[in-house]
A = this chain, B = another copy of it.
Amino acid sequence: MRIAIPIFDGFTALDAVGPYEVLSRLPGAEVLFVAEQVGLKRTDTGMLSLQATHALDRLPHPDVLVAPGGPGVRGLLDDEALLGWIRAAHERSTWTTSVCTGSLLLAAAGVLNGQPASGHWLEMETLRRLGAQPTQARVVRAGKLITAAGVSAGIDMGLTLAALIADEQTAMAIQLAIEYDPQPPFHSGSPASAPADVLARVREAAARRARGGA
């Protein structure tokens, strides 16, 4: 069971590390961090780098594909090296999955056409423009496609996927091993639950970034 996570400059670390932390604990699973070129890939904050150990062309047909997101996705929506790899990987994959704006990569590659899909709540319109049916749920399954909401949703998606790959007892054992008994100190994790001023603040920060500001 080879699980490929493509990474790139500007990806969001937790998008990739959440599912990795769950799926790497599946018996017999091997998680591989792949990129167009092997080497260090810098996360969106610029403060952290993860090592891509395998070139995309060395791993054309992983059993499972997990596409993380992040601001770096924006520059990859017409990157045929990555999108072509996703398209070919999806043709023979057992599961094709994403976290956060990783679903934009799947959509840009054409594998989400007309399919219900989740993603970061700020980018649901982009997801629609790229041909998917945006669905604001934590984890959305459509056949062998599984897409998750923003950043931290990759942990929930990873556990869902672990149960599908192995069984529920194995997924529950992983949940216990990583002590995933979440107790957020605030109730502000989704646009539906966040206070209006917090929602406005995050929307405004996103709009500033989109205009090229800080």
Measured CB to CB, the residues of A under 8 A from B are 12-14, 17-18, 20-21, 24-25, 30-33, 40, 45, 47-51, 53, 100, 120-121, 138-139, 149-153, 155-156, 159-160, 163, 168-169, 171-173, 175-186, 188-191, 193-195, 197-199, 201-202, 205
A184-B159, A185-B156 known; A20-B33 Cβ under 8 A? no
Distance A116 CA – B143 CA, assembled complex (angstroms): 48
Q: Point out the residue from B25, B50, B51, B202 that lies within 8 Å of A173, measured CB to CB.
A: B202
Task: Indicate if the CB atoms of A178 and B151 lie closer than 8 Å.
Answer: yes
Distance A202 CA – B172 CA, assembled complex (angstroms): 10
CB closest residue in chain B, given A203: B176
A14-B21, A47-B30, A152-B155 known; A195-B172 Cβ under 8 A? yes
Q: How far is the CB of A73 from chain B (nearest CB, A)?
A: 15
A186-B171, A199-B176 known; A21-B12 Cβ under 8 A? yes
Contacts of A155 in B (CB 8 A): 152, 182, 184
CB closest residue in chain B, given A33: B48
CB closest residue in chain B, given A193: B181
Contacts of A160 in B (CB 8 A): 185
Given contacts A149-B179, A149-B181, A150-B179, 8 further A-B contacts (CB under 8 A): A13-B20, A17-B48, A21-B152, A24-B47, A49-B53, A177-B205, A181-B190, A182-B182
